Amino acid sequence: MTMKTSSRKVDGVTIVDLSGRITLGEGSVVLRDTVKDLSSKGDKKILLNLGDVTYIDSSGIGELVSAYTSVRNAGGELKLLNLTKKVHDLLQITKLYTVFDISDDEASAIASFNR
Amino acid sequence: MNATRVSYTLESTLASVNKAEQSALELAAKSGFDEDECGRISMAVREATVNAVLHGNHYDPAKRVTVSFEVTPSALTVAVRDEGSGLDPASVPDPLAPENLLKQSGRGIFLIRAFMDEIHFRSLSPGTEITMVKFVRGSDRDGNKEATQ
């Protein structure tokens, strides 16, 4: 199953709902292109909703890191929402859990951008 | 000891990576590992096969990747072999080091080590073989069942 994305905007925050697998050659490219596209449009507050992401491999983790740094380097913020247990565990093992701003609640995640 | 062996010789493509991952998932489940352990084993095999296809064989259509599974009552052993120019595992940077934390790549072997009980590298001529072992809970490397209390 390849990854699908859809975007919506709430209170100035672009929420990207992702579903499927973020893996080498599949979801990684989709994620990269999606974030690149949003950045080129000037979106600086990006919230990736990973609630329906079933699987991430090391390439997918790398793509999340790359998205995070590219948005930050452009003066924006990229945060994560609704991690599954598998993804949570992966980010913990790789010590990235402390790097990303992660939330389980969409409303408070949106509010955190606008503080 | 009874052992079941399965081996695949695969092209250096992403489809092969998915094939290896899926086979690992099925064999891990048959070996009696729980759902979380099956996920970790299949991810370790996926990462090893990605390394073989991408970093070992560089997607070269003339080169093959061999993925071999051995299932015994005490362990699942997986060997992934490429025909590349070789890998020095000691040269792979620590992805947890502060200076590497935000690097895009370099986490594959780290995840394999985290998810499997044993991991060994062997240089071939040409190529590299990585062997990964996951013991069935309560078994040791000699196939002995640990005493339960």
Q: What is the CATH number of the domain that holds A69?
A: 3.30.750.24
| Contact (Cβ atoms closer than 8 angstroms) between residue B102 and residue A91 | no
Contacts of B79 (CB under 8 A, 6+ apart): B66, B67, B68, B129, B130, B131, B132
Q: Closest Cα of chain B to A105: distance in Å?
A: 25
Residue B147 lies in a domain: no
Q: Locate the DSSP E strands across chain A.
A: 4-10, 13-22, 45-56, 77-81, 102-103
Q: Closest Cα of chain B to A93: distance in Å?
A: 8
| Contact (Cβ atoms closer than 8 angstroms) between residue B119 and residue B18 | no
Amino acid (1-letter code) at residue B34: D
Residue B144 lies in a domain: no
- Chain A residues inside the 8 Å CB shell of B108: 58
Q: Which of B43, B50, B107 sits opposite A94 (nearest CB)?
A: B107
Residues in chain B with pLDDT < 70? 1, 138, 140-149
Tell me the residue range of the domain where A75 lies.
4-113
| Coil vs helix vs strand at A92 | helix
How far apart CA B25 and CA B37 sit, in angstroms, is 9
Residue B119 lies in a domain: yes
Q: Tell me the ipTM for this assembly.
A: 0.91
Residue B146 lies in a domain: no
Residue B105 lies in a domain: yes
Give the Cα-Cα-Cα angle B87, B126, B21 (nearest 5 degrees). 65
How distant, in Å, are the alpha carbons of A94, A95, B13 from that of B9? 31, 35, 12
Q: Do A63 and B103 touch (CB under 8 A)?
A: no
Residue B79 lies in a domain: yes
Tally the domains of chain B: 1
Tally the domains of chain A: 1
Tell me the residue range of the domain where B101 lies.
4-135
Model confidence at A111, pLDDT cuts 50, 70, 90, reads: very high
**B120-140: pLDDT as tens digits:** 999 998 999 999 999 997 676
| Coil vs helix vs strand at B1 | coil
* Residue of B51, B94, B102 to mutate when probing chain A, most A C-beta within 10 A: B102
Q: Closest Cα of chain B to A7: distance in Å?
A: 24
Q: What is the pTM of this model?
A: 0.92
Tokens linked to B101: 């934390």
Residue B93 lies in a domain: yes
Q: Do B104 and A62 touch (CB under 8 A)?
A: yes
Q: Do A94 and B47 touch (CB under 8 A)?
A: no
Task: Output the domain CATH number for residue B130.
Answer: 3.30.565.10
